[in-house]
Amino acid sequence: MEIGSMVAVTLVQIAVVMGVVLLTVAYMTYAERKVLSFMQDRLGPMEVGPWGLLQPIADGLKLFFKEDIIPSGANKIIFAVAPIICLVPALIGFAVIPYNGSFTLFGLEGGGVISDLNVGLLYIFAVAGMGAYGVILGGWASNSKYAFLGGLRSAAQIISYELAMGFSIVGVLLLSGSLSLVTVTEAQAGTWFGFIPQWNIFLQPVAFVAYVIAAVAETNRLPFDMPEAESELVAGFFTEYSGMRFSLFFLAEYGNMILVSCLASILFLGGYKAPLPILEFIPGFVWLALKTWALLFFFIWIRGTYPRVRFDQLMKFGWKVLIPVTLANLLVTALGVYIYNN
């Protein structure tokens, strides 16, 4: 393929993926409010559009027109940059997410992924780690005790649970023998006995549970939302933010949720692969979307179910339970792979 059409295809892919991600973020906020409402026997947003379907757009417009306030005594440059540092990693992670098998559209070939990096998984971890800087710096630059404490809590939490998250996926890497997310997905094709899909969740159940717990903690969601615990810290690290800057933090949080859910579907649930051969007529991106939405629903579900844990419980659980369990799982997996290969 010549360079011109290659650039064009990539740009179109980026535009489509970003569009879908941002739309999902918008409707994730709507879904969250609706699902939580139903769980609490309420109706949720109903006024804007039919069943309140246009609510996210109204919210977005409202945030756009709000006044932008910078607190006195804040570090202006870092205060302005922090939301961007937070949002960019959440969005560029999607560059290596394979959303479909390779396909042909209008005579142009698409790989089904913006960039099939051979270190794709590590790339996601590298950029996801950068989100912590946005949170810490935002908290620090606000010149506010609440924001500062929220930022510090968030940093401690992200550092602790990133380890467990990393360990939990090493087992999957051992099984598929690659860091490329496309290869990881392709390795999960096919079925056992004709009806059980060859997904990693069946080989790595412990890792899947550990990953999901770590993912909830990484994205600062209930029951691990210590960095923004309303009753203690008002809103945590973005207490002082308003208007567009606030919405950037908001976008980052939901973008991260979608990213870790996408990653979980790819690593453990077969990504864009259909669960059974008879269902292969449904295109791959539909499967990825279904799996990701199932996990996103799970995020909302546990938010509606569990109370917040205490900070010392959070740290103790991360370091003394989750990391040893994932390490043990890694050891067992390594032994299993060694025996199987010989």
Nearest 5°: phi and psi at 329? -60, -40
CB of 147 to other proteins, least distance (A): 12
Amino acid at 276: L
Q: Which of 9, 35, 97, 156 binds other proteins (CB under 8 A)?
A: 156
Q: Which is nearer to other proteins, 89 or 112 (CB)?
A: 89
Q: Among candidates 325, 98, 100, which has minimal Cα distance to 204?
A: 325
Q: Which of 30, 79, 99, 123 binds other proteins (CB under 8 A)?
A: 123
CB of 132 to other proteins, least distance (A): 5
d(CA 81, CA 103): 39
Q: Does 117 bind other proteins (CB under 8 A)?
A: yes
Cβ–Cβ contacts within 10 Å for residue 145, how many?
12
Q: Which of 6, 39, 61, 119 binds other proteins (CB under 8 A)?
A: 119
Site for other proteins in 176-205 (CB under 8 A): 179
Q: Which of 6, 11, 61, 159 binds other proteins (CB under 8 A)?
A: 159
Q: Does 126 bind other proteins (CB under 8 A)?
A: yes
CB of 237 to other proteins, least distance (A): 12
| CA dihedral of residues 6, 11, 17, 21 (deg, nearest 10) | 160
CB of 39 to other proteins, least distance (A): 35
Q: Which is nearer to other proteins, 20 or 122 (CB)?
A: 122
Q: Which of 94, 148, 208, 272 binds other proteins (CB under 8 A)?
A: 148
d(CA 187, CA 199): 9
Tokens, residue 227: 């960095």
Q: Among candidates 124, 131, 197, which has minimal Cα distance to 158?
A: 131
Q: Among candidates 48, 56, 47, 45, which has minimal Cα distance to 23?
A: 56
CB of 178 to other proteins, least distance (A): 8
Stretch that binds other proteins, among 46-54, 113-121, 191-199, 238-246 (CB under 8 A): 113-121
Q: Which is nearer to other proteins, 39 or 119 (CB)?
A: 119
CB of 13 to other proteins, least distance (A): 20
CB of 291 to other proteins, least distance (A): 26
Cβ–Cβ contacts within 10 Å for residue 244, how many?
14
Q: Among candidates 215, 128, 224, 208, which has minimal Cα distance to 168?
A: 208
Tokens, residue 183: 């290869």
Stretch that binds other proteins, among 61-69, 104-112, 135-143, 279-287 (CB under 8 A): 135-143
CA angle 59, 61, 62 (to 5 degrees): 65
Under DSSP, the state recorded for 321 is: I
Stretch that binds other proteins, among 105-113, 114-122, 249-257, 283-291 (CB under 8 A): 114-122
Q: Does 260 bind other proteins (CB under 8 A)?
A: no
Q: Does 78 bind other proteins (CB under 8 A)?
A: yes
Q: Does 158 bind other proteins (CB under 8 A)?
A: yes
Q: Which of 140, 208, 254, 272 binds other proteins (CB under 8 A)?
A: 140
Q: Does 162 bind other proteins (CB under 8 A)?
A: yes
Residue with token string 């792979």: 337
Nearest 5°: phi and psi at 105? -135, 125
Nearest 5°: phi and psi at 172? -60, -40
- CA 88 distance to own-chain centroid: 13
Cα dihedral 320, 321, 326, 331 sign: positive
CB of 118 to other proteins, least distance (A): 6
CB of 37 to other proteins, least distance (A): 37
Nearest 5°: phi and psi at 196? -100, 115
Which residues sit at the interface with other proteins, rule CB under 8 A?
78, 117-119, 122-123, 125-127, 129-130, 132-133, 136-137, 140, 148, 151-152, 155-156, 158-159, 162, 179
